[in-house]
Chains A and B, each alone.
Chain A
Amino acid sequence: MNVTSNEFLFEAAPIAAIAVPGIPALLVPLIGVHPFTRRPSELFAGRLTLVGLWLSFLASIVLAFAWSNGAHRPLAIDFVEIRISSDHGFQVALLVDALSLAMMLVTSTIALLVARFSIRYLHREPGFQRYFISLNVFVAGMQLLVLAGTYDLLLVGWELVGLSSILLIAYFRHRPGPVRGGLRAMVTYRVTDVGLLFAAVVVHHAAETPRFVSFLGSDPWPPTGASLGSGVATVVAALLLVSVAGKSALFPLGGWLPRAMEGPTPSSALFYGALSVHAGVYLLLRSASLFVASTTASIAAFVIGLASALLATAAGRVQSDAKNRLAFATMAQVGLMVAAVGLHLWWWVVVHMVAHVCLRLYQLLRAPSALRDAQEMRAALAELPPARPSLAYRMLPEEARTYLYHLALQRFHMDELVDALVVVPVMRAAHAVIGLDDRFRRLFASAPASTETRVGREESESVVRS
């Protein structure tokens, strides 16, 4: 490639960087507020999405070439800084390096494939347009998350991914199951997202700059060190782990993932097989230098990841339907990736992540045909002798196996534990506040007892559980 084309690529890089998340974001109002008719047709929503995602894909290719021609150095693109006070601003900056490029290309490709698949799969489904609006919100959010050059901007993408996720879990909104699943995912996201928000604020405060290249180092990824001190690195990494535990369904907050499978199959494949569930792993990889600087954080990541993998593997083995089984398999693999982050095996995690994204996407898209696949497989293997029981099965006594089986069937009581330790106390406190206020009201103005105080404790608990 000659010098002129190199210059062109460098000049086109900022535009391409905006286009990658910007085009899907632009599609949202175009489909949502259709300028010509009251409701856009399937053809309009589907084709517009496909055209937009193709353009976004091409922009990501341009960006990849620009990075490749820049001697593989990180490409930091600063746009504007919204200054809110004299020493505080919101920096809109993107970062293109080996890690973000890998994830960006995977996201562009997979989003395009899933959009194409969805057009047929959801044909004549009520809410077809709603699905494509959420899909575009997700793609815009995911690309923003991947390309973000600051934690602030990453948080924007992170929240967009979360929002589209909960709206798609509850896609079949007339059924109670998906709505409950969406609600559970929403609660988990809201609670754990504060970790990322606080991490961003702590970084602002400690490093006095929000830009990754300023405090995580400007060397090519993977990093060898961080400019943050060990203490701050540990705090920020711990906060990030909280957020990742929510988004990537790690121990002990993974209860929402199997319930999330109530959404349409293409969205389950895109979110919980392919991209959304790996957003947490990406965040940890992006913050790799924090783990280099903090041994404590590395150990925490390893332990959480390993625990998630073990529990999910055991729970997955006793599931009776394909999508749930795949959900637990995903949790197990993501757990292994997080454990590997703790061991600083950066490139191993990237390869594992990309391979797992592709495999799980395929498996989840095939899930509606699982019965047929299973029958075909059984027929093909009919003449083979039955598989030998595993070593663990042979070594464990019968009672232990039964106990473990029941424990795995109950998903190790993780959901009950979280409910008992967090949900129920919070709802009791809420109930107590209402009761206390009612007493104050009667004291102040001799008011009759409010109906709120007659809400039973069980009812309060069931509100949140449902």
Chain B
Amino acid sequence: MNYALLVALLVAPIVAVVATRLTEKPRVARNVFGAATTATAAFAILLGSRVFHAPANLVSIALVSGRGLAISAARVPFVCLTTVVFLVVALVADRRQLSVSGARSSAIALLAVVIAHLATDLAVLAIAFALLAGVLVVDVGRARDREAQADARLIGTILSIGVLALLVGAAATGGASVLAPLATDAHAALDPTKVPEIARDALVLICMVGLAVFPLHLHLPRIFAKASIGPAVALVLVQPALVVAMHAVLPTLGSKEGTVMSVLATFSVFAAAYASLGALGQRELRPMIGYLVSSQNGLVLAGLATRTTEGGVAAILSSMATALTGAGLLIIAHEVESRAGHVDLRGSYGFAKPWPRLGVAYLLLSLAALGFPGSLQFFSEDLLLQGFLASHPFLAYAVLLVAALNGITILRSFFVLFFGPSVLDRADYVPSDIRRRELLGPTILLSALGFLVMIGPSIGALVER
């Protein structure tokens, strides 16, 4: 039964891809995608509840020489939340965002994210990443204008580096399992002595591309600005899987780990500061969210590089919080754009007057994203600072400044969009506030974040173990 559920988890998005291929009707494609996400979420939750009773709390499928896909007890929240976020996308996305091609791209993206979260080693992760890269390139390049083509080239170039690095990393680590840090069983962990020197550069590259950290961050704002909502959200949701994998493989950096990790930590904090400045200077909401995610990912990478328990736990919790809040803000940005026709941050638009519920949803997600006390991001920031105080005390100040800058950027965008004189007063037609179906999206995401706050400590304990 468990194996059947694991297979079904993968088959549902594949069926959706095939079905959207066969139809020309946007409504049918949308419904197919909705059914696939619902089924995937249901299978994930069902499988998650059964994993705890499985032998060694693990259900796995071996594809090649013991490697393949697996779900362990500690991975259940990751997989469930990922599928739930896609369910939210299916619920809130309008006709324009989920056309036939958009639904197909989103289904492939869902498949890629599920594979990434079930991957047991870097080679499988590379497959998922390649799948996602392909979808994004096709999706962005679908518009025939010069800028879109350039963006597609840029995205393709950067993500190819990531796929290549993952493959090199997989070869260098000899296909060892990356499941260990989140497994409740004694799955084969990496042996540091068997990792050759070449792995170091590959692993660092994976981190930088996968987490979109400077200077390999340029694709993220462009994807957020140009791609359909499904693949764009998928890119954020893949990142926790990468963080988990890196948490397993980064300790294998050999005897020079002290120096390497210090350099990596310093560089990551610089990258986070760089991206937060980029976010502050943005004139549009969607690229701004891209820069913010990149900035938070810089801190995630820095947390991994501290090589402390606190830093590691902070990185995983922060990557989950960033994935959920980033996806949520992106969904809200699409909602604003579909109503107002733009997400420009240069003026002052007073959208709170016609769309108060949308404003409240944006504010709550913003607070969760900036690490308001009580949120998951707050706990992870607190832990991250503890990790930095133990390893690199001076960098802790920089981390704080980055957090403050990100908070300012995100709250400023709220003020700009939702406060001020309402520009829609003079319009002939004012679109309605978000409907109940659309309101379900932010509600589910905020509930998921609340749920994570509750189970966060247990994830931390598992990671630590």
Size bin of chain B's contact surface:
35 or more
A159 at interface, CB cutoff 8 A: yes
A198 and B385 contacting across the interface, CB-CB below 8 Å: yes
Interface size on A, residues (CB 8 A): 59
Q: Which of B309, B403, B415 contacts A85 (CB 8 A)?
A: B309
Please provide the chain B residues from 212 to 256 with a CB less than 8 Å away from any CB of chain A in the complex.
Answer: 215, 218, 221-222
CA A61 to CA B192, docked complex, whole Å: 62
Q: How far is the CB of A38 from chain B (nearest CB, A)?
A: 10
A183 and B415 contact, Cβ closer than 8 Å, known pairs A174-B353, A434-B278, A447-B154: yes
CA A201 to CA B158, docked complex, whole Å: 37
A82 and B147 contact, Cβ closer than 8 Å, known pairs A155-B373, A182-B419: no
Q: Which of B151, B317, B421 contacts A175 (CB 8 A)?
A: B421
CA A437 to CA B154, docked complex, whole Å: 12
A433 and B281 contact, Cβ closer than 8 Å, known pairs A173-B352, A198-B385, A444-B157: yes
Please provide the chain B residues from 392 to 425 with a CB less than 8 Å away from any CB of chain A in the complex.
Answer: 396-397, 400-401, 403-405, 407-408, 411-412, 415, 418-422
Chain B residues, Cβ within 8 Å of A198: 385, 396-397, 400
A98 at interface, CB cutoff 8 A: no
Q: How far is the CB of A133 from chain B (nearest CB, A)?
A: 10
Q: How far is the CB of A231 from chain B (nearest CB, A)?
A: 13
B281 and A431 contacting across the interface, CB-CB below 8 Å: yes
Stretch at the interface among A185-193, A277-285, A334-342, A357-365: A185-193
Chain A residues, Cβ within 8 Å of B280: 426-427, 430
B153 at interface, CB cutoff 8 A: yes
CA A358 to CA B411, docked complex, whole Å: 33
A65 at interface, CB cutoff 8 A: no
Please provide the chain A residues from 153 to 212 with a CB less than 8 Å away from any CB of chain B in the complex.
Answer: 155-156, 159-160, 163, 166, 170, 173-176, 179, 182-183, 186-187, 190-191, 193-194, 197-198, 200-202, 204-205
Chain B residue with minimal CB distance to A195?
B400
A86 and B282 contacting across the interface, CB-CB below 8 Å: no
Q: How far is the CB of A439 from chain B (nearest CB, A)?
A: 10
Chain A residues, Cβ within 8 Å of B218: 437, 440-441, 444
A444 and B352 contact, Cβ closer than 8 Å, known pairs A85-B464, A204-B386, A430-B277: no
B146 at interface, CB cutoff 8 A: yes
A85 and B404 contacting across the interface, CB-CB below 8 Å: no
B281 and A430 contacting across the interface, CB-CB below 8 Å: yes
A391 at interface, CB cutoff 8 A: no
Q: How far is the CB of A266 from chain B (nearest CB, A)?
A: 20
Q: Which of A86, A160, A170, A201 contacts B389 (CB 8 A)?
A: A201
CA A447 to CA B460, docked complex, whole Å: 43
A156 and B408 contacting across the interface, CB-CB below 8 Å: no
B257 at interface, CB cutoff 8 A: no
B350 at interface, CB cutoff 8 A: yes
Chain B residues, Cβ within 8 Å of A187: 408, 412
Q: How far is the CB of A171 from chain B (nearest CB, A)?
A: 10
A433 and B420 contact, Cβ closer than 8 Å, known pairs A88-B383, A183-B415: no
Chain B residue with minimal CB distance to A198?
B400
CA A403 to CA B183, docked complex, whole Å: 72
B456 at interface, CB cutoff 8 A: yes
B142 at interface, CB cutoff 8 A: no
A-B contact pairs, 12 of them (CB 8 A): A84-B457, A85-B309, A173-B419, A183-B415, A194-B404, A197-B381, A426-B405, A432-B277, A441-B154, A444-B158, A445-B154, A447-B154
10 further A-B contacts with Cβ under 8 Å, apart from A84-B383, A198-B397, are: A83-B461, A84-B456, A152-B382, A159-B372, A163-B367, A176-B420, A197-B382, A433-B277, A441-B222, A448-B146
Q: Which residues of B contact A (CB under 8 A)?
A: 146-147, 150-151, 153-154, 157-158, 215, 218, 221-222, 274, 277-278, 280-283, 309-310, 313, 317, 346, 348, 350, 352-353, 360, 367, 372-374, 379, 381-383, 385-386, 389-390, 396-397, 400-401, 403-405, 407-408, 411-412, 415, 418-422, 456-457, 460-461, 464
